[in-house]
Amino acid sequence: MTHPLGNPPSKIIAVHLNYPSRAKERGRIPSQPSYFLKPPSSLAGTKEAIVRPQGCELLGFEGEIALIVGSRAQRVRPEDGWSHVRWVTAANDAGVYDLRYADRGSNLRSKGADGFTPIGPRLLDARRLDPAALQLRTWVNGELVQDDTTDTLLFPFGQLVADLSRLVTLEPGDVILTGTPAGASVVSPGDTVEVEVTGSGQSTGRLRNPIASGPALETYGAMPRTDAAEREAAHGAAFTPEPPPATAGRCPQLDERIEDGLRSVAVATLSAQLRGRGLPHMSIDGVRPTRPDTKMVGVAHTLRYLPLREDLFKRYGNGMNAQKRAVEQLRPGHVLVMDARRDTSAGTLGDILALRAQQRGAAGVVTDGGLRDSVAVTELGLPVYHGGAHPSVLGRRHVPWDTGVPIACGGALVQPGDLLVGDADGVVVVPPELAEDLITDCREQEQRERFITEQVRAGHGIDGLYPLGPDWHEMYERWRKQHSTQGEHT
């Protein structure tokens, strides 16, 4: 196999997590970098096929920036680390997740197969580059799926060189794969992956590798196998199986008693009780339900849109953007809450993403923006609260920006992990720490209101009755005791 290095390096070192966007997908932010080794025999060049062995289904691609060491580095300081880098190029850190179990922690067979580290096609002179101003982009079949820059790396390149050189001598020609951003996923035979690195007006050109099917592995070793966890990891936290029947319709992230309690009380009652606790701004205003007959209870997973800027939409709006990532990050019981700045003049959700959210086990969706394909979304049965129907795509007004952050939706501040309760009247945000006390007080309030309703139906006036005044307390207590006794015998 040919690659632009000529002589093989003594080692290839790959970083696990380095881009904040990827760390969000994985649900963890490391405090220090961690690494694994790939054999030099895994190197390949552009246009060479990446071969997926027969029996494997999860061939992952990861567009990366590769650093080529130019001078020996041993116990160097972070501020001197970049000076030991001679070349920069594009790389694809390919691997089959089906074999990760076989060498857990080392990735030897899953990441180390021949041809699983294509690099190139051109080497850029590191001395002419700003390491914090490089752009990495990846395409699958011509569609941009990864697009990120090095200005927000968790661990800058100089730090990686210094950290490694504390214990491992880096020799000229050694390759450091510096991590992949969000959007890495799975490809199949027939697909084509392209990776490009640009900076300071220079480009590596596109590293282009078709995906091919190879022969089955011989049986005298570990054989491919996979499970739900590996599928999820391979798809970039973008796959989980349907929730099992035992959890269908429930929210496994919530205590069952809390979930049942929130389902048992009206949103209007919750709103009144929150207001009584000094929280009058917990309703998500201006949204209407697709299914007024369906109660929604779940845990907030947030997505933020920013106003359209045409020069930024190409970078943030295409491929596996924040909107799609938010949907693919959903877990059973999540409510996807979208901040669209109450701009309903473009859709923020359509039938395909609503269907995917439902398949992921979402308890519902709330957006203060527009809803596309409103009839089809309604027919899904997934509770969706929206600012109004609109035929246009989100790119008319919005740039999907980020997920898992505090947002404003319909005038309410929503944090990831807040509880969302919706019914025909609308949606309220419930702080988790208040939920238990709120349920108790809501049930008491609703019981009083049932008593009051009975008295009004019997012809009593509302003066002193609504709200319940002292003249009615004794009668109410008798009524409550009677109904409590009846309930025990029911």
Write out the CATH class of domain 12-234: alpha beta
Most confident segment among 112-116, 214-218, 220-224, 392-396? 112-116
Give the DSSP letter string of 378-431.
Answer: HHH---EEESEE--S-GGGTEEEEEESS-EEETTEEE-TT-EEEEETTEEEEE-
Residue of 56, 44, 47 whose CA lies nearest to 215: 56
Q: Is the pLDDT of residue 330 over 80?
A: yes
Tell me if 103 is assigned to a ligand binding site: no
What pLDDT band is residue 486 in, cutting at 50, 70 and 90? low
pLDDT 10s digits, 405-431: 899 999 999 998 899 999 999 999 999
Percent above pLDDT 90 for the chain: 73
Q: Is 251 a residue whose pLDDT tops 80?
A: no
- Return the minimum-mean-pLDDT range out of 23-27, 188-192, 323-327, 328-332: 23-27
pLDDT of 272 higher than 80? yes
pLDDT at residue 101, as a whole number:
87
Q: Is the pLDDT of residue 247 over 50?
A: no
Q: Residue 241 pLDDT more than 70?
A: no
Q: What is the pLDDT of residue 489?
A: 46
Residues 6+ apart with CB under 8 A from 83: 71
Residue predicted with more confidence, 161 or 29: 161
Q: Is 22 helix (H, G, I), strand (E, B) or coil?
A: helix
- 60 has binding-site annotation: no
Is pLDDT of 490 > 70? Answer: no
Class level of CATH domain 256-436: alpha beta
- Would you kindly state where each structural domain of the chain is located, as residue ranges? 12-234, 256-436
Let me know the angle formed at the C-alpha of 147 by 146 and 153, rounded to the nearest 5 degrees.
Answer: 105
Query: Which among 122, 173, 131 is positioned nearest to 152, based on CA atoms?
Result: 131
Q: What tokens were used for 150?
A: 């090095």
Is beta strand 288-289 parallel, antiparallel or unpaired with respect to 384-386?
Answer: antiparallel
Q: Which of 109-123, 329-343, 468-482 is the least confident region?
A: 468-482
Whether residue 246 is predicted with pLDDT greater than 60 in this model: the reply is no
- Tell whether 372 is in a known binding site: yes
Q: Which residues partner with 12 through β-bridges?
A: 38, 175
Tell whether residue 353 is among the known ligand binding residues. yes
Q: How far apart are CA 142 and CA 312, in angstroms?
A: 19
Query: What pLDDT, on a 0 to 100 scale, did the predictor assign at position 254?
Result: 78
* Count of C-beta atoms within a 10 Å radius of residue 248: 10
Distance CA 207, CA 122 (A): 9
Cα 15–chain centre separation: 21
pLDDT given for residue 216 in this prediction = 87
Judge whether residue 127 has pLDDT over 90. Answer: yes
DSSP, res 185: -
Q: With a cut of 70, say whether residue 240 has pLDDT above it.
A: no
Lowest-confidence pick of 153-157, 274-278, 474-478: 474-478
Higher pLDDT, 3 or 145: 145
Output the pLDDT for position 357: 93
pLDDT at site 328: 87
Does 396 have pLDDT greater than 70?
A: yes
Say if residue 27's pLDDT is above 80.
no
Confidence of residue 242 (pLDDT cuts 50, 70, 90): very low
Going by C-alpha positions, the residue among 397, 358, 409 that lies closest to residue 380 is 358
| pLDDT exceeds cutoff 80 at 230 | no
373 is in an annotated binding site: yes
Annotated ligand binding at 258? The verdict is no
Q: Is 370 helix (H, G, I), strand (E, B) or coil?
A: strand
Give residue for tokens 């499970």.
227
* CA angle (107 as vertex; 12, 20 as ends), nearest 5: 75
Cis, peptide link before residue 467, omega less than 30° from 0: yes
Confidence of residue 385 (pLDDT cuts 50, 70, 90): very high
Q: What is the pLDDT of residue 286?
A: 97
Q: Is the pLDDT of residue 3 over 90?
A: no
pLDDT of residue 228: 65
Q: For residues 462-485, give the mean pLDDT.
A: 85
237 pLDDT higher than 70:
no
Q: Tokens 């945000």 correspond to what residue?
A: 429
Quickly tell me which residue has 């567009």 as its tokens. 63
Confidence check: pLDDT of 239 > 60 = no
What is the residue-averaged pLDDT of the chain? 90
Q: What is the C-alpha to C-alpha distance for residues 303 and 351, in angstroms, rounded to an integer? A: 17
Residue 387's contacts (CB-CB under 8 Å, 6 or more residues apart) are 286, 287, 288, 340, 342, 344, 367, 368, 369, 370, 371, 410
